[in-house]
Each structure stands twice: as C-alpha cells, then as structure tokens.
Chains A and B, each alone.
Chain A
Amino acid sequence: MATITYREALNQALSEEMRRDESVFLMGEEVAEYDGAYKVSKGLLDEFGDRRVVDTPISELGFAGLGVGAAMVGLRPVIEFMTFNFAFLALDQILNSAAKMYYMSGGQIPVPMVFRGPTGAALQLSSQHSHACDTYYAHAPGLKLVRPATPADAKGLLKASIRDADPVIFMEGEMLYNLKGEVPDPDDGDFVIPLGVADLKHEGGDVSIITHGSTVHLALQAAKKLEKDGIHADVLDLRSLRPLDVDAILESVKKTNRAVYLEEGWPYVGIGAQIVATIQEEAFDHLDAPVLRVCQADVPMPYAKNLEQLAKPSVDRVIEACNRVLYRS
C-alpha cells in the first residue's frame, strides 16, 4: 500500500490502462501540454505522445461526438471534461449517440468509452461551475455512472470503467483531487474494482446514511459525531449509480430500519428520489421511519460564502436528518 492523492490515483489508472491497451487514448481541453486543468494527466503527454494525449479546441459537443465515433470502430477513448458543467453542451452526443447506439443498431455497434471529469461544487464558483450533474446521466439506459469518493476507489473504478464495453460517465470531485488515501501498490498487481459494488465505509447498526461521491466524506464526519452521541451509523458509499448495488442498500436498511440519503445534487428527481423509491418498494416492511434526504438547497448555487454554505449539504443537516429518522429531537 502507498498513500497517494485522488489525483495521483486517477493518473495511475490512466497510465496503466494506456500501457496495457493501445486503443485507449485521452482527449479533452488542456489535458496534454497543460497536464490537465486539475493536473490529473500530468506526465502522460511525455510518456504517450500527442497521438494518445490530445488537446482539443473548446468544442465540448464536437470532441465528445468525436470520441463516440472513435469508439464505434473499436477505440477506447477517455474524454475529459474540465467539469461536467461544460458537458451540457455535449449532452446530445452523450445521450443520443453514445447511450443509444448499441440499441438502435440492434447490437452491432457498442460504444466502449469513458467521459470523465469533476462534478458538483468546489468553493465559491457560483451557479454555472457548481452543478452536481449525476442525475442527468443516471436517468438514461445505455449509460453507466460511476462516482468514486476515495483514491483507491478512483483508481480501481477508473480502470474498470475503461475496460467496460459500454459508455461510462465517471464523475470526480474538485474538492477530492488533493484527498490522500491508501492505494495498493502498482507492483502488487492489477487493482480493479468492479462496477456495481457498494462499499460500507463505516459500520453501525442504528441508521443507514447512504450516499455517493464527494458527500461520502460528510457522511463519515456525521457518523463520527453521532458515535459520540451513542448513535452508530452505517455509511454506505454506492460508488456506482448504474449499475446500482441494490442488495447492499437493502441489507443495510434491513439491519437499521432507518435511512437517510445524502447527495450533492438537488432533491427534485435527484438520485435520492430513486433510492427512496427503491427502498420503499423493496424494504417497506423493514422501515421504522420515512426515509429522508439531505441535498443541495433547491436553488442555483450562490456565490456569497455564507449563502453557499447554506445551500450545500452539511454535517449538521445530516445529523439532524439521522436524529429525525431515529425520532430523537
């Protein structure tokens, strides 16, 4: 094991996969000469050259579609968006081309590729750079959606995503890139985490805090505080939202009988809405309280520091929701 940052873990995953498979290439804005806007691709241009590490014009729709076309004839593109906020320009190619190609060609043309980049809020980036974009992609059959929260998950899941036969949306977090964590040493063999397996990151028995992505860390802080209060929480990190580890959700809920869903995005038609629906459909008899959600306030992200803090999910709001499902005031 080595302690590395989330950024370094992604970089390791990319370089290992590019060494392993000649058909993998990285394309996006500033990924080559600038080493990536968040330095995820540092050094890759030197190792792989400008054929496989490619700077693009600021044409999200264009280079997303170019990636899909290359995947249609068997390459495995990794398309980086500087942030998924900018990928809205490319939604047509992601939803209408990548997600539907295999189906509408009657199974003739798979699209093995990864779209990756950060999503959600950082610090005071205001409305157009703070959007948590998960739900748009989770909605569409044909796509897979992965949200790693730790360096190890980032590495293992990115490698699995690159090897997957379908288009995978791989969402990172701006505030996660500097996060350090233990990752198996590259010399100890190929480290791949299969999609669709949730990870119980903290074990309790009183309440399930289910979450994904950057908010995993909020949940862990909340669990720690609750512990002092004698409340033991499960923190279940879904890691991928499609495929979704429903068994792990049900297992935790059946144990605790109470659940809170925590996410960066807005509540209305958010990921949490789906998770709540799944829990009530499949574990109704095990619930001792309604499932609550902690989300971003239902407004565009404000710039002012105090308002931004109010808008984002917080440890306090998670604790409050846990207390409510436990009927503690």
Chain B
Amino acid sequence: MAETKTEKSKKAATGSKSEKSGVEDGLEGFSKEELHSFLKEMLLYRRFEEKAEEAYAIGKIGGFCHLHIGQEAVALGFIGPLRDDDYVFTSYRDHTQGLAKGLKPGPVMAELYGRDGGCSRGKGGSMHIFGAEEGFLGGHGIVGGQIPLAAGVGWAIRYREEDRVCLCYLGDAAVNQGAFHEALNMSAVWKLPVIYVVENNEYGMGTHFERVSALPVVERAKGTGVPAHSIDGQDVIATWRLMEELTEKARNGEGPQYVDARTYRFKGHSMSDPVHGVYRTKDEVEEKKKSEDPIVVLRDRLFDADLLSEDELDALDEQVVEIVDEAVEFADNSPFPEDEELYTHTYAEINEHGRLFFDGRDR
C-alpha cells in the first residue's frame, strides 16, 4: 500500500497543472458560506501576523518571532478538517496553527507580548504557543523535537482505544533530524494515528533544502514505511480534501500518514532575518507572492466561480481587522506576570520534603 501512495505522490510532485492548482477537484462539496469562512480564516491569520510584525518593530514583542505569512493554507487546510478533540503539534512557527485549532487571538497575541493573559501565561512566548484545552500541544523550539512527542500522543490515543488523531507539523529541514526517522519508524510499526505534515517552504532558515538533502521531501518517509503524499500547500481546498481522506484512514486504524505540503514563506526566517538577499533573490520572493499567495489563490477562484464579490471580500477583511485590533487591545491591557510567577509551573508537584530550587530563594 505504501508503494501505491508513493507512486501517487510522485505524480503529484512532478505536477501536472491541473493537479497543482487543484482545479480538477473543483469547489464541489463546499457551500458558499464555508468557502467564505475559509477566506476569512486565512485573512485572519494574515492580518494577525502583520500586526505581530508591527508590534515587533516597535518593541512590544521580543525574542525570536517567526511569521507564517504565505503559509496560511497549510494551517487551515490541515487543521480545519480535524475534530475539536484531535491534537496538533507544530514547531516554532506556530501562531496561526494555534488560532486554527481554536485558541483565541487575544491570548495568542498576549503571549507574544509576554503578558500574564497569554495562552502560556507569558512564559512561552512566540515559539511556545499552547492550548491544552483546545488540543494544541505546542509550539516547539528545537527543529524536529515535536515529532517524537506527536508519536507519543498517537501512542496514548491507541493505548486508550480512542478514535482521535494527532496532526504533527514539521518544517522541511526537520526531515534531516534523527528524531524524524525514529518517530516515523515507531509510528509505522505501531500503526499510530498521526499525520505528519511537512510545511515544505524550501528553506531551513537560509539553506535551501536541496543543498543539504540527497532526496526530495516526499521521498524521505520511504525508509520508515509511512505512506507519503505530496500536495500543493497553497491550495486550501486541495489540502482540506486530502486531510479529510487521511484523518479517516488514521481514525480507522490504518496508521500514520506523511504529507509533503509545498508552500512558501513570504517573510524572513524570523523577524531578525532578511526576507531575501543572501539565500534567495527578491525576484523569487516577488514571483511567489504574485502567483502562489494562498489567499489570492482562493479569492480568485471564488471570483471566477461567482461566489464572491469585492464588497463581500472587503466585509470579510474588515471583520478580521476588527478581531485582530481587539487581540492587540487585549494584549496591551493584559498585565505583565507578577514577580512571584517566576517560580510557578517549574514543577507540577512541590514535594513535601527536600529542596527543589537552589538559587537561595528557600532560605
């Protein structure tokens, strides 16, 4: 079965025009309201990240801040089809996936601001967005570190005989980590209900994938026995449909799945890095923005199908701008954590006996 899948993916990877654009799938099965909600969601992610960019520039957000601009369809297309009780892991480029899984924009923005009202109480920051209640199990900062964790959640699902699934995002560079191969192998051996989605934006920071990898992303799961698929990650409809298919398989006990979702990052690796210059040209970025912006791709398809008017688009955009403004207001009004919070949450259990902290605070 794995071979058939790989064959299918290979075709998609080499890509005829129709497969790439997803036109052959059309928009059937989605109502106008649903399609508008897709557009609105992706606009929300875009406006949210633009606001984060602004806030970073004026020093309201510190540290490393990795924006998801350009990759919105990967967030929505894979998380959208999940159930509320399913789980999601991702790496440090994690704000919009958190929103997609149901975290409120206010607490996510407050987390970026390092405030007490942040979804991780101001202790995680941009790279560590968490929402336990929403099944959003983080934002992880070590490349590939979340992959074995996701296998563990898959293990727990199987252990408890539940029909949930776990979605694990990783960047293309993470497929060169040992954790990737170890976790996928175990997932295949134990048929864990985990869907691994590579957000293949071509670059690991400033290094093009092909410069440091002998085989393409979609081939890299081959040695582990996890069925592989390739998809145009800028096409939210295509990713949504694929994810529906894969979650059903995973829920039915067919084990893990692996997806190479081809996408592109329109901004620098983090806010500290240039958008282009050293490792990619301005022309390359501009061309991608023009032809592969996931929001524009969907918008134009809806225009073409007479499912969207300029006025409706403007109205959707106004709605999300308002939501993001409210998120910024929430963040601005949220207090910084109290000094006492420095020590809380280091341990879930303070043992009755003995000393746990050695910096003198116990004396």
Q: A-side interface residues toward B, CB under 8 Å? A: 25, 51, 56-57, 59, 61-75, 77, 92-93, 96-97, 101-112, 141-142, 144, 164-166, 194-197, 240, 242-246, 274, 278, 282
Contact (Cβ within 8 A) B120 A104: yes
Contact (Cβ within 8 A) B345 A102: yes
Contact (Cβ within 8 A) A282 B145: no
Contact (Cβ within 8 A) B137 A109: yes
Most buried by A among B123, B138, B356, B363: B356
C-alpha gap A303/B222 in the complex (Å): 41
Contact (Cβ within 8 A) A195 B345: no
Contact (Cβ within 8 A) B346 A73: no
Stretch at the interface among B67-75, B152-160, B314-322: B152-160
Chain B residues contacting A59 (CB-CB under 8 Å) are 182, 185-186
Chain B residues contacting A77 (CB-CB under 8 Å) are 152
Expressed in whole angstroms, the minimum distance between the Cβ of A163 and any Cβ of chain B is 9
**B84-109 CB contacts (< 8 Å) to partner A:** 87
Q: Give which listed residue, B120, B140, B186, B348, contacts A106 with CB less than 8 A.
A: B120
Contact (Cβ within 8 A) A107 B148: no
Is residue B46 within 8 Å, beta carbon to beta carbon, of the partner chain?
no
Chain A residues contacting B124 (CB-CB under 8 Å) are 104-106
C-alpha gap A274/B357 in the complex (Å): 12
Chain A residues contacting B123 (CB-CB under 8 Å) are 103-106
Is residue B142 within 8 Å, beta carbon to beta carbon, of the partner chain?
yes
**B112-136 CB contacts (< 8 Å) to partner A:** 118-124, 128, 130-133
Is residue B290 within 8 Å, beta carbon to beta carbon, of the partner chain?
no
A65-B145 contact given A72-B137, A72-B152, A75-B159, CB 8 Å threshold: yes
Chain B residues contacting A274 (CB-CB under 8 Å) are 358
Question: Could you list 16 A-B pairs, sorted by A, with CB under 8 Å?
Answer: A62-B178, A62-B179, A65-B183, A69-B153, A70-B152, A72-B153, A74-B156, A97-B145, A101-B138, A102-B347, A103-B345, A104-B124, A108-B132, A108-B133, A166-B349, A243-B356
Q: Give which listed residue, A70, A110, A112, contacts B155 with CB less than 8 A.
A: A70
Q: B-side interface residues toward A, CB under 8 Å? A: 87, 118-124, 128, 130-133, 137-138, 140-142, 145, 147-156, 159, 178-179, 182-183, 185-186, 189, 344-349, 351-358, 363
Chain B residues contacting A240 (CB-CB under 8 Å) are 354
A240's closest neighbor in chain B, by CB?
A: B354
Contact (Cβ within 8 A) A141 B346: yes
C-alpha gap A65/B192 in the complex (Å): 14
A70-B346 contact given A104-B123, A106-B118, CB 8 Å threshold: no
Contact (Cβ within 8 A) B355 A246: yes
Expressed in whole angstroms, the minimum distance between the Cβ of A51 and any Cβ of chain B is 7
A241's closest neighbor in chain B, by CB?
A: B354
Chain A residues contacting B133 (CB-CB under 8 Å) are 108
Chain A residues contacting B141 (CB-CB under 8 Å) are 96
Contact (Cβ within 8 A) A62 B354: no
C-alpha gap A121/B179 in the complex (Å): 28
Expressed in whole angstroms, the minimum distance between the Cβ of A94 and any Cβ of chain B is 11
A108-B130 contact given A72-B153, A166-B348, A245-B354, CB 8 Å threshold: yes
A194-B351 contact given A62-B151, A92-B142, CB 8 Å threshold: yes
- Sorted from nearest, which 9 A-B pairs have the closest CB atoms? A69-B152, A196-B354, A65-B148, A62-B182, A243-B354, A106-B121, A196-B353, A165-B349, A69-B149
